[in-house]
């Protein structure tokens, strides 16, 4: 039996919080088909989220599973499954791949995974479509896949949020038959939010929610009698005929007077023994392999990455296809007007060459920050619902965060290394390879992880992308390299500007070159930090981004 008591949920972040659920008390019976119905916006989905610990409940609210009080979503792992309205699965994977990766995240033994894969495919009727891409499935097939993903861990209780919404009558009946089969033959407890009142005959116990309150619980026949209607299709007319206060008061009095009991529950199955989950390292490796496969399947995104990885360095070398101009030896001590003019010409030529070199260095850095924004901004926010869904089945936040950091970090490092190699070979940049390669690689990694942190904290991929683009846009002016900042602002902003430290670390590696001397002569007040300091600051940026990614992945952000 699943029970909730005094569940009150208010909107978060609003100046005047609004109650979505008002002290809800409800009971849902084991081994039965439990329906939750009510007008749109009455709080049905929020009730599901509150039961599963995905919504913040006001103090005093309680959820009980059997005799155990549930205080957090982690308490339900392996015991309660959740099938949302729309299947949450990667469009570029096949049905079999989605299920297989789901099993690798939740089941340790390989033989058991193979057996369960075939069982679930058969149960949900997707065996003929096992090699079909998710993006090619029909609406009904997507609902079946969503149920299949929940049945992988075989939870005793399954919560379904409008899994039949939008389906044609035949597909809707097929899904409800599948759920009833799970209930009857496997003794599962089903909680289903449903809109089609004509399908209530499939259910043993019905809960009516209206304006955030439970106003009835009982069988279909009892519902007809309670609301004095010939069939369920007239329910909403009856609800609208009286104010909400009438139904709230009437149900409170009815419960006190009659204490309605639910249907007879079948003998409870033995309490499930929760199997050990794969280790965090095993989950991490599964996630990395799945992400790599998705990258190769998503030709549009892969083409974009290839285009910017190889195209951005070409944009840099266009300005120095014949190599960097060389600074000649300074003229001898000036003698007469010709000597002075030669000295002035040398100084001007040296300054122009140094300005070109520093501009090309900054150009590389800015382009790498753009790559970093592209790498990280949508990576987590774009699949947040899938991640939250997999957390309910036992995915560890640390494994997920590590997989994203490693995947994006390796990609960013390779982009920085390639930028260094290509530009240095074509333009013949002076200075040590190792320091320059480390600097540009770390520039891209640090920006990638900072934007990945935005992705972990923002509610949508669009918000994360916008914030990342703003951050990149401010890199150039706030670096103080191209446009000098007022002195009092320099050390306020500079410690946080990725582009400045990338530029400084790269250019300082040329300290033994005439280019460096020419730049410092033209900018005598410029104090450029050593390369190792720049690398240390960039490393600190990357570590800060990684810490924020880890912390952001630990937060619950269920927005469906």
Q: Is position 526 within any domain?
A: yes
CB count within 10 Å of CB 364 equals 29
Return the percentage of the chain with pLDDT > 90, whole number. Answer: 47
Confidence category of residue 345, pLDDT binned at 50, 70, 90: low
Residue-wise pLDDT for 505-530, tens only, equals 999 998 887 777 777 776 766 788 99
Q: Is position 95 within any domain?
A: no
Helix, strand or coil, per DSSP, at residue 6: strand
CA dihedral over 193, 462, 375, 505, signed as positive or negative: negative
pLDDT at 540 over 90: yes
Q: Is position 432 within any domain?
A: yes
CB count within 10 Å of CB 137 equals 20
Distances (CA, A) of 278 to 292, 375, 393, 394, 406: 20, 28, 12, 9, 19
Residue-wise pLDDT for 163-193, tens only, equals 777 778 888 888 888 888 888 877 888 999 9
Distances (CA, A) of 51 to 409, 546, 556: 37, 32, 14
Helix, strand or coil, per DSSP, at residue 466: helix
Q: What b/e string do you get for 500-530 counting C-beta neighbours within 10 Å, with b at 16 or more?
A: bbbbbbbbbbbeebbbbbbbeeebeeeebbe
The whole-number pLDDT of residue 539 equals 97
Longest dimension (CA), the chain: 115
Of 78-92, 204-218, 530-544, the one with minimum mean pLDDT is 78-92
Indicate the average pLDDT of the chain: 87
Highest mean pLDDT among 34-48, 172-186, 471-485: 34-48
Q: Does one domain contain both 240 and 284?
A: no
Higher pLDDT, 77 or 92: 92
Q: Does one domain contain both 422 and 542?
A: yes
Q: Does one domain contain both 246 and 320?
A: no
Which pTM value belongs to this model?
Answer: 0.88
- Are 316 and 379 in contact, with CB atoms under 8 Å apart? no
Q: Does one domain contain both 514 and 467?
A: yes
Q: Is position 457 within any domain?
A: yes
Contacts of 96 (CB under 8 A, 6+ apart): 117, 121, 130, 131
DSSP one-letter string for 164-195? TTT--HHHHHHHHHHHHHHHHHH--EEEEE--
User: In the sheet that 2-10 helps form, which strands lie side by side, from edge to edge?
Assistant: 19-28, 2-10, 62-65, 68-70
Q: Is position 363 within any domain?
A: yes
Q: Does one domain contain both 244 and 337?
A: no
When divided into structural domains, the chain yields a total of 2
Return the percentage of the chain with pLDDT > 70, whole number. Answer: 90
- For residue 251, give the CATH number of its domain: 3.40.50.300
Q: Does one domain contain both 299 and 231?
A: no
pLDDT at 54 over 60: yes
- Mean per-residue pLDDT, 212-223: 92
The whole-number pLDDT of residue 316 equals 92
Residue-wise pLDDT for 455-471, tens only, equals 999 989 999 999 999 99
- Mean per-residue pLDDT, 358-385: 93
Q: Does one domain contain both 298 and 424?
A: yes
- Using a 10 angstrom Cβ sphere, with 0-12 exposed, 13-18 middle and 19 or more buried, the burial of residue 129 is buried
Total residue length of the chain: 560
Q: Is position 559 within any domain?
A: no
Q: Does one domain contain both 385 and 237?
A: no
Highest mean pLDDT among 33-47, 136-150, 408-422: 408-422
* Residue 92: closest CA among 105, 83, 101: 101
Contacts of 430 (CB under 8 A, 6+ apart): 324, 510, 513, 515
Distances (CA, A) of 57 to 20, 53, 216: 11, 8, 22
pLDDT at 452 over 90: yes
Confidence category of residue 560, pLDDT binned at 50, 70, 90: very low
Residue-wise pLDDT for 272-305, tens only, equals 555 678 999 999 999 999 999 999 999 999 999 9
**What CA–CA distance (Å, rounded) separates 137 from 89?**
11
Q: Is position 331 within any domain?
A: yes
The whole-number pLDDT of residue 329 equals 59
Helix, strand or coil, per DSSP, at residue 25: strand
Domain that holds residue 515: 280-554
* Residue 411: closest CA among 299, 306, 283, 289: 306
Residue-wise pLDDT for 84-96, tens only, equals 877 688 999 999 9
pLDDT at 268 over 70: no
Q: Does one domain contain both 252 and 298?
A: no
Q: Is position 348 within any domain?
A: yes
Confidence category of residue 327, pLDDT binned at 50, 70, 90: low
The whole-number pLDDT of residue 250 equals 92
Q: Does one domain contain both 517 and 444?
A: yes
Q: Does one domain contain both 214 and 347?
A: no
Q: Does one domain contain both 219 and 288?
A: no
């Amino acid at each position: 039996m699943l029970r909730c008591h005094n569940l009150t949920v208010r909107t978060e972040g609003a100046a005047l919080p609004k109650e979505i659920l008002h002290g809800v008390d409800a009971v849902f019976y084991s081994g039965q088909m439990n329906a939750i119905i009510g007008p749109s916006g009455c709080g049905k989905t929020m009730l599901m989220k509150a039961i599963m610990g995905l919504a913040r409940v006001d103090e005093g609210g309680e959820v009980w599973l059997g005799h155990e009080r549930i205080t957090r979503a982690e308490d339900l792992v392996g015991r309660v499954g959740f099938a949302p309205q729309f299947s949450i699965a990667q469009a570029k994977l096949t049905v079999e791949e989605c299920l297989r990766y789901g099993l690798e995240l939740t089941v340790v033994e390989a033989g058991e995974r193979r057996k369960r894969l075939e069982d679930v495919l058969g149960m949900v009727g997707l065996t003929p479509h096992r090699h079909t891409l998710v993006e090619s499935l029909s609406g009904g097939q997507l609902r079946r896949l969503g149920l299949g993903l929940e049945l992988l861990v075989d939870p005793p209780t399954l919560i379904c949020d409008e899994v039949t919404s939008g389906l044609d009558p035949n597909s809707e009946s097929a899904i409800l038959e599948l759920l009833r089969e799970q209930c009857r033959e496997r003794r599962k407890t089903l909680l289903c939010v449903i809109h089609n009142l004509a399908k209530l005959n499939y259910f043993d116990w019905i809960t009516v929610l209206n304006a955030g309150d439970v106003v009835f619980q009982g069988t279909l026949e009892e519902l007809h009698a309670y609301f004095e209607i010939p069939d369920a299709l007239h329910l909403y007319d009856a609800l609208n005929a009286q104010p909400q206060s009438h139904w709230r008061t009437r149900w409170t009095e009815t419960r006190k007077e009659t204490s309605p009991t639910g249907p007879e529950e079948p003998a409870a199955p033995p309490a499930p023994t929760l199997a050990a989950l794969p280790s965090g390292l095993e989950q991490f490796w599964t996630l990395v392999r799945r992400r790599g496969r998705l990258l190769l399947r998503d030709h549009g995104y892969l083409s974009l990455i290839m285009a910017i990885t190889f195209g951005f360095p070409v944009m840099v070398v266009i300005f120095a296809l014949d190599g960097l101009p060389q600074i000649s030896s300074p003229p001898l001590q000036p003698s007469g007007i010709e000597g002075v003019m030669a000295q002035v010409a040398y100084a001007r030529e040296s300054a122009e060459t140094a300005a070109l070199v520093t501009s090309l260095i900054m150009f590389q850095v800015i382009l790498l920050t753009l790559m970093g924004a592209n790498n990280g901004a949508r990576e987590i926010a774009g699949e947040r619902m899938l991640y939250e869904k997999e957390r309910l089945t036992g995915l560890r936040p640390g494994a997920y965060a590590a997989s994203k950091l490693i995947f994006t970090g390796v990609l960013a490092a390779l982009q920085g290394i390639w930028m260094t190699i290509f530009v240095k070979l074509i333009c013949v940049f002076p200075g040590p390879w190792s320091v320059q390669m480390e600097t540009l690689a770390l520039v891209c990694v640090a920006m990638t992880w900072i934007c990945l942190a935005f992705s972990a904290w923002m509610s949508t991929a669009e918000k994360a992308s916008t914030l990342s683009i703003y951050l990149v846009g401010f890199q150039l002016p706030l670096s103080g390299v191209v446009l000098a900042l007022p002195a009092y602002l320099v050390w306020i902003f500079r410690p946080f500007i990725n582009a400045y430290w990338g530029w400084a670390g790269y250019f300082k590696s040329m300290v033994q070159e005439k280019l460096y001397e020419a730049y410092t002569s033209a900018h005598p007040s410029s104090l450029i930090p050593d390369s190792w300091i720049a690398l240390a600051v960039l490393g600190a940026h990357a570590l800060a981004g990684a810490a924020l990614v880890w912390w952001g992945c630990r937060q619950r952000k269920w927005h469906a």
